[in-house]
Structure 1
Amino acid sequence: MEMTQKPWQLWSKEEFLQQFGGLYEHSAWITEQAWEHQPFNNLQDMLNTMKNIVAESSQETQLTLLRQHPDLGTKIEMSEHSQSEQAGAGLTGLSAEQFEQLAELNRNYTEQYQFPFILAVKGKSTDQILESMRQRTGRSATEEFQTALGQVHTIAGLRLQMWAEERNLYRKQVE
């Protein structure tokens, strides 16, 4: 679909969902609900609305949101956003040893918390990611659940920032 030149605040619901539906991994329901809360003053206001939608959701819905994220470094099919983010962190070119280490950490983490390890990997090296996985494994389930949700919001914010920068809309609208 060709992008129109009208401001994003004036888009149809279809345009809005097409552009922002991928901010939260395989969870366009957040964007659909956010649409109902318009108008937004700016992109940060829209993102805050999305965060509130998640916060007001049941714990089971939040858990489902966490489970939509792929394991880091896996070779399974994932969203374009995740592919790009993981490639940028070097997770698509791991050595066999690094891949096995990451796979084991992923297994241990998922077994302990019942959702995948989630980290906003932009700007992080493979070693930093592995260290973060080691540090976060062993936390209480409640603490890690909240940390993972925070990372989901960070990822959504980074995706929105990239979207805005690609369109020269970034004017301190997104933190």
Structure 2
Amino acid sequence: MALLFSITGIVYIFGLNQDVGATKQKWVLEEVVPKEKQFDFLMDFLSKNNIPFPNDINPKDFRGALSIGSAKYMITIETKDNQTMIQTIQRSLLGNMIMLHKAKAKWYFDVLSVAFGISLVLFYLSGIVMTAFCKNKRKEMLICFLAGLILSIALGYLSV
């Protein structure tokens, strides 16, 4: 977990997002498909054009568009300005990892991520408790803790 979060955090900071290495296709149709008929229209369109169906075809709302699929392979249909747009996106391994980091996948990985975060907090607190009993290094421990705290707060304040 630590390796996944550190790798995806670093690449995200350097400007790579979940669409890195993704394969995207887009079709713009000059017709308006009503919201209530979009799912059936999408299923028919995928069949006629031999586009692979995602594993999960339960329709969901994604930023105002109807979507099917998962973080790995998603298909969306959206009607705007008298046009209907159908888009597919198949993400790469790194893109999927970034989606996991951003909690955009299934809920069970989110549970594991929260448990990992809690364990990091407990690990940190246990380190403070352990060094509290170490009388000869208390000054160094307090200086390191305060320096890290002040630096984090200052950089966080300057960043927003």
TM-score, structure 1 as length reference: 0.26
Q: Larger helix proportion, structure 1 or 2?
A: 1
- Higher strand proportion, which one? 2
Larger radius of gyration: 2
Q: TM-score, normalised by structure 2?
A: 0.27
